[in-house]
Amino acid sequence: MIVQLFWLGIVGAVIAIGFAFFQARKVLGYSEGNDTMKKIAGAIRVGADAYLKRQYTTVIKFFVIVFVILCALAFIPILMGQDEGLVNRFAPFAFLTGGFFTGLSGYIGMKVATASNSRTAQAASESLNKGLRVSFSSGSVMGFTVAGLGLLDITIWFLLLRFVFGANDIEIGQAMVKFGLGVCFMAMFARVGGGIFTKAADVGADLVGKVEAGIPEDDPRNPAVIADNVGDNVGDVAGMGADLYEAYAHAIIATFALGVGVGYSYGGMLLPILMAAVGIIASIIGTFFVRTKEDASQKSLLKSLHRGTFLAAGISAVAALPLTWLVASLELPANANATFYEATGLPPGQIVSMMDNVWGIFGAILLGIGAGLLIGHFTEYFTSDMYKPTKELAEASETGTATVMIGGLALGMKATVGPILTVAFAAIISFLISGGFRDGDINFYAGLYGIGIAAVGMLSTLGVNLATDAFGPVADNAGGIAQMSHLPEEVRNRTDALDSLGNTTAATGKGFSIGSTSFTALALLVSYMALAGVGREELSVANPPVLIGLFIGAATAFFFAALTISAVHKAAQSVVIEVRRQFKEITGLMEGKAEPDYAKCVDLCTQGALKKMVAPSLLALVVPVGTGFLLGAAGVVGLLAGIVITGFTLAVFMMCSGGAWDNAKKYVESGKLGGKGSENHKATVIGDTVGDPFKDTAGPSFNILITLSSSVALVFVYLAEFSLIDWLLG
Amino acid sequence: MIVQLFWLGIVGAVIAIGFAFFQARKVLGYSEGNDTMKKIAGAIRVGADAYLKRQYTTVIKFFVIVFVILCALAFIPILMGQDEGLVNRFAPFAFLTGGFFTGLSGYIGMKVATASNSRTAQAASESLNKGLRVSFSSGSVMGFTVAGLGLLDITIWFLLLRFVFGANDIEIGQAMVKFGLGVCFMAMFARVGGGIFTKAADVGADLVGKVEAGIPEDDPRNPAVIADNVGDNVGDVAGMGADLYEAYAHAIIATFALGVGVGYSYGGMLLPILMAAVGIIASIIGTFFVRTKEDASQKSLLKSLHRGTFLAAGISAVAALPLTWLVASLELPANANATFYEATGLPPGQIVSMMDNVWGIFGAILLGIGAGLLIGHFTEYFTSDMYKPTKELAEASETGTATVMIGGLALGMKATVGPILTVAFAAIISFLISGGFRDGDINFYAGLYGIGIAAVGMLSTLGVNLATDAFGPVADNAGGIAQMSHLPEEVRNRTDALDSLGNTTAATGKGFSIGSTSFTALALLVSYMALAGVGREELSVANPPVLIGLFIGAATAFFFAALTISAVHKAAQSVVIEVRRQFKEITGLMEGKAEPDYAKCVDLCTQGALKKMVAPSLLALVVPVGTGFLLGAAGVVGLLAGIVITGFTLAVFMMCSGGAWDNAKKYVESGKLGGKGSENHKATVIGDTVGDPFKDTAGPSFNILITLSSSVALVFVYLAEFSLIDWLLG
């Protein structure tokens, strides 16, 4: 009976996808505006299409290589007569489906965003509320596509494994926890590649256009302007879509594994599926409450978005208790407990039932939802110019660029404390209340299940959260189109208001994904420990392989940051040189008599992104395997913990510094402290330029670094058995 | 018999102090130069004296408070009839002596440095080699004072405990590991206070003098120029002296504790003492090989310093084998093993003798020495303009300030990898070869002893290493005096060559202290685990309190960085405002007809430093105690590990970014890429200004954060027994 309820996952997914489809049709019903607008939007669309096509083509090669390796590891041992392969036999195929759905999420989001930008510009020329509705609808296509496809992918695999391959609960849990590899491998390329593209174009366009030539942002004379607008779509939309697909799917499957580990069996797996389905419905309701009045202040715009997200969170929270109770009270199939005792070797009776911890699990879901909102609040506080930190940062420009830099770095470092403590205490309280306060291994797992389900709770309303996030780049693009097609000043002002709002919600969205990832990472860590069979005693932080692993993890996170920000740095330099060249060589360009060669800049960004996205992505693949070979499973656990801790902290630091620099610049541009063109403005523009790769390339990639390295470790878990250190120790 | 050999520690200490005295007399024998030079040196001396006096007066208050708390915890339970107090009864007094000797090290170093600056300027007017000899001799006074006092403090306490209080080996080990608290509490105030002072003055002087008014560095018309030169002495000399005293003393006492833990008894304690004594003699020999020719290039200057340090390292390495063998072969007192079995409850026969691991211990010492040199090489590679990274950073100024900033941040992040891997692999190999490759708790401790002794090996040649480090600020001051007293251009060029060299060796010296600290920290962590009685199973990284502790540790390190760099930021802003005021209000100042009010700037820096040094110092005191209350001992272990890992990585990142920015600026100033006054120069000056608090305030304070938080945890270990989490769990 209980396994039939998993079909509700399909229902939830279909509702999400249907709603996304409905929103897409609504958006496409709006007018695209005049011919100039259509032409510009067309150019952006062509560029974004072309980039994503080339990116996916490159990525496919890596997918083929890894697929072949996985197949070899999975089937050669079986062909040679072994009982099982070195990796799970479903892993190669799940690797492909995960990658496919992740890429598809990004692609659909990008498609809708590039169809909505000119429509948003057109709508904004009518009213601010219309502009918000169109861009927000476009964002919600992405939000619900991601949630729908994620839920679909997981549910289908569950049903396949259960009904087609006849796997039992233990086998399903152990198989599915490894399914994240393809998801995060794809997400990594999309996030890093898109992030490099968008910031290379942005920094390149700003450094020459705004700073050297003194022409406004999004001026059609700037050869990098189309690349900049393409970047918003391939980085901030497609990259973010893939990224959040990853966070969402991973939270659910990691909780699956823990649910099985504690003996909750199908109930432990069903709860996250149903939470996701309920979250989709709550999100749909939430979207209807996002609207604004004309002439709304930034505060009231933000409030209108909060209305949608808070309402959805509230509905999910209220629904969580009956849902948890319902799932806990369902009867399991007769064989579920038997296979559990057989697999774990525990004496019957040691098992805990979900009903024992029903209040705790409910509490953990609430904590997850609350932690998400709280992290959002912290990032908002540190990055929005409505609050003191960013205002003070803008004022630091009075004593020059150096103090803006020092102030921004210190701000980001300070900003790490709130989210870290939130995650830390939400995690430990979730752990304790959902069973972890009792002695024994089983209760330890029950506590961890609480942490996993908290992540699911946090992400359950992804649909509406992502919508409030993904509308930002659409509004940004709309502003560009308004500027380039010389629409009236007020249109640009309206899209600017939406764009600035999008900056803040983007920081919040990134806080969500990194926050939930830290929970998920813990779940993956524990799954790894269980699969690798390392005892808790070996995993003492004072055990040298663990401690060394922690150190290597910290170095990996820092090196990853260095690679991604230098990639932007290098790619941007090539754009700078090209833009300077066009300004010099194309006669009549500055007078508006000749057109710049936009395609050349798009091409440079594409090349830079494709070339430079490989090293950071492979880092997450190579380091866990290498550490496993050198230090064994205990070293890998240390490594993963080190990557989580340092990666999380660096992510918050970089996203908040970058967000605050950006908004400090916008604060000055709004006329404060001398306004545009003043020395203060120049200082904050430099801050923004430094912050760009922080907040849009390196910062939001850390959560994928964390899950990708965990997934690699999980999939190649058997390889760590042949470690140098174990060989040395005999 | 073996305990009598500890008197050799006193002999070594006396030799070091005698040599320091001899060097000081030599320096004082040189001429102080003309009257102007004497007057300026006098002003610097008065400022530095006044600051240190006020700093120590402030710090004494905190010492009194902590002393009273320690006494209360130690003696009230005894007075109430308990067998022992909540802290060790010797701890309050060791807290005072540790603080006293640490402060004294800084004070003597500062005294000699302020007496040597004008003498170095005078000597440099005769020849480059003479300038080097005088400044290097002054640096070696500091180096040998630190080593001598450190060894003296520890040996005297050992002898007191053994012969006056009749303590046995176990009691001595357990008592002495807690003696570091006073040392690092003092070092923290000295490092952070001095670091804020020096950088507030430096940044303030540069921002207004160099950037706004366009007058050269060290121009006597700049009101902050004396404060800037005072800062070199109270920050880079006194602060660094206290810092390295701390690293040195802590490495030895942490190894004491491990030696006892593994049952090496007095042998385990004697070896670090003798290594330190041998290192002092090797260092004295090394100092005689530091000399240079006239017109030496920077490369050959660096080579002449390397000659001294490499030779000393070589002698120590060669002496280590016979020394280890000698100590291992000594017969222990009859009761040593008996007390060990009694204390540990092990069945007799489980003990390992030092002789079993004699080759491993020797290997660990070599690894420590080698790791120190290798870390030095890495930091040199990333921060010296003789190599590619800093050259490329300077070239990034071609595309503006933003790319200099991004490039410097990426450089520092990349630079973390080498030192981290060095420390990681030196630690694990030391662990394995010195016994850790065998099973069992005893061998685990034997392996850890290897890690501790590696730190002692690395720091054994502190005398000469610190000398190559502490001569830099003296040369910097000499340059200032040469400029202010209008000595010929060539004198300034010579002191500049020495100063630039000092920048690189300073980065190396900081690498040493953070590198050795990471080893020491591991030893302290294990001592804490043993004293707190937490089992290895509880300490699994996946155990939520441990993982949460790790997260809080990361947040602590980032927050500490934010506090220190904002402190500089704020104090510098007050200096900027004052300097601007003086330029505006004092008539005739710019024409050289009126004197600025130097004392006012010194006072502002003093106030800023004294006010802002408190919060970061108390952070390290409050967080471990608070975490203990909330999460218990397992949480504290996680916390300490988190602080080590993140603190180490941040330290290397910040020191390398800062060093590279500084030298990129010097590279441009040497005439490359447009030279002084060019746009490129401006961009690199901003980089340097941002880097100042990175490399001289926050960066070098992390190692003290690490040991201070460990020491606090160790001293207040019993408090973690009353934790909230344990109370909740019943």
Question: Where residue A728 falls among pLDDT bands split at 50, 70, 90?
Answer: confident
pTM for this predicted structure: 0.93
B131 vs chain A: nearest CA distance in angstroms? 34
Average pLDDT for residues A26-30, to the nearest whole number? 92
Residue B616 CA to residue B597 CA, distance in Å, equals: 31
Q: Is A540 helix (H, G, I), strand (E, B) or coil?
A: strand
Read out DSSP for B481-544?
HHHHTT--HHHHHHHHHHHHHHHHHHHHHHHHHHHHHHHHHHHHHHHHHHHHT--TTTTBTTSH
- Inter-chain CB proximity A728 and B638 less than 8 Å: no
Res B358 pLDDT > 70: yes
Q: And the tokens for A49? A: 């299409």
- Inter-chain CB proximity A417 and B559 less than 8 Å: yes
Res A297 pLDDT > 90: no
Tell me how far apart the 2 most distant CA atoms of chain B are, in Å: 84
Res B535 pLDDT > 80: no
Res A1 pLDDT > 70: yes
Q: In terms of residues, how long is chain A?
A: 730
Res A273 pLDDT > 90: yes
Question: Where residue B260 falls among pLDDT bands split at 50, 70, 90?
Answer: confident
B367, B547, B627, B705: best mutation site toward chain A, by most A Cβ within 10 Å? B547
Average pLDDT for residues B696-702, to the nearest whole number? 92
Res B213 pLDDT > 80: no
CA dihedral A370, A375, A381, A383 (to 10 degrees): -150
Question: Where residue B176 falls among pLDDT bands split at 50, 70, 90?
Answer: confident
A407 vs chain B: nearest CA distance in angstroms? 7
Count CB neighbours of B212 within 10 A.
15
Residues of A in contact with B526 (CB under 8 A): 542
B660 vs chain A: nearest CA distance in angstroms? 15
- Inter-chain CB proximity A406 and B565 less than 8 Å: yes
Note the pLDDT of residue A283. 95
Tens digit of each residue's pLDDT (9 = 90 or more) over A243-266: 999 999 999 999 988 888 888 889
Percent of chain B with pLDDT over 70: 99
B541, B569, B690: best mutation site toward chain A, by most A Cβ within 10 Å? B541
* Closest CA relative to residue A339, chosen from A171, A180, A196, A181: A171
Question: Where residue B730 falls among pLDDT bands split at 50, 70, 90?
Answer: low
Enumerate the β-bridge partners of residue B540.
A540
Asked if residues A608 and A200 have their Cβ atoms less than 8 Å apart, the reply is: yes
Question: Exposure string (b/e) for B551-588, b if CB count within 10 Å is 16 or more?
Answer: bbbbbbbbbbbbbbbbbbbbbbbbbbebbbebbeebee
Note the pLDDT of residue B704. 93
Res A445 pLDDT > 80: yes
Q: Residue B559: which of A414, A573, A725 has the nearest Cβ? A: A414
A202, A395, A411, A413: best mutation site toward chain B, by most B Cβ within 10 Å? A413
Res A534 pLDDT > 70: yes
Tens digit of each residue's pLDDT (9 = 90 or more) over A611-631: 999 999 889 989 999 999 999
Percent of chain A with pLDDT over 70: 99
Note the pLDDT of residue B654. 95
Q: And the tokens for A381? A: 């506080």
Of B410 and B519, the one with more pLDDT = B410
Residue A263 CA to residue A265 CA, distance in Å, equals: 5
A565 vs chain B: nearest CA distance in angstroms? 7
Average pLDDT for residues A434-460, to the nearest whole number? 88
Tens digit of each residue's pLDDT (9 = 90 or more) over A486-520: 888 888 888 888 888 887 787 777 888 888 888 88
Of B334 and B152, the one with more pLDDT = B152
- Inter-chain CB proximity A405 and B690 less than 8 Å: yes
Average pLDDT for residues A433-459, to the nearest whole number? 88
Average pLDDT for residues B68-85, to the nearest whole number? 88
Alpha helices per DSSP H over B80-127: 91-126
Residues of B in contact with A414 (CB under 8 A): 558-559, 562, 566
Residue B291, phi then psi, degrees to nearest 5: -155, 165
Q: Residue B649: which of A554, A693, A725 has the nearest Cβ? A: A554
Question: Exposure string (b/e) for B393-410, b if CB count within 10 Å is 16 or more?
Answer: bbbbbebbbbbbbbbbbb
Q: Phi/psi class of residue B33: alpha, beta or left (left: φ > 0; alpha: ψ in -120 to 50)?
A: left
Of B434 and A290, the one with more pLDDT = B434
Q: Is A653 helix (H, G, I), strand (E, B) or coil?
A: helix
Note the pLDDT of residue B220. 83
Cβ contacts from A onto B, under 8 A: 250
Residues of A in contact with B396 (CB under 8 A): 569
Residues of A in contact with B724 (CB under 8 A): none
- Inter-chain CB proximity B413 and A542 less than 8 Å: no
Note the pLDDT of residue A730. 62
Percent of chain A with pLDDT over 90: 48
Residue A74 CA to residue A65 CA, distance in Å, equals: 14
Mean pLDDT of chain A: 89
Asked if residues A350 and A439 have their Cβ atoms less than 8 Å apart, the reply is: no
Among chain A residues, the shortest Cα distance to B727 is held by: A437
Note the pLDDT of residue B435. 85
Tens digit of each residue's pLDDT (9 = 90 or more) over B292-327: 777 777 778 888 888 999 999 999 999 999 999 999
Residue B437 CA to residue B431 CA, distance in Å, equals: 8
Average pLDDT for residues A372-388, to the nearest whole number? 90
- Inter-chain CB proximity A396 and B432 less than 8 Å: no
Note the pLDDT of residue A174. 80
* Closest CA relative to residue B693, chosen from B536, B572, B556: B572
Of A268 and B299, the one with more pLDDT = A268
A300 vs chain B: nearest CA distance in angstroms? 32
Of A104-118, A465-479, A490-504, B353-367, the one with minimum mean pLDDT is A490-504
Average pLDDT for residues A455-465, to the nearest whole number? 92
Residues of B in contact with A627 (CB under 8 A): none
- Inter-chain CB proximity A529 and B552 less than 8 Å: no
Res A523 pLDDT > 70: yes
Note the pLDDT of residue A236. 86
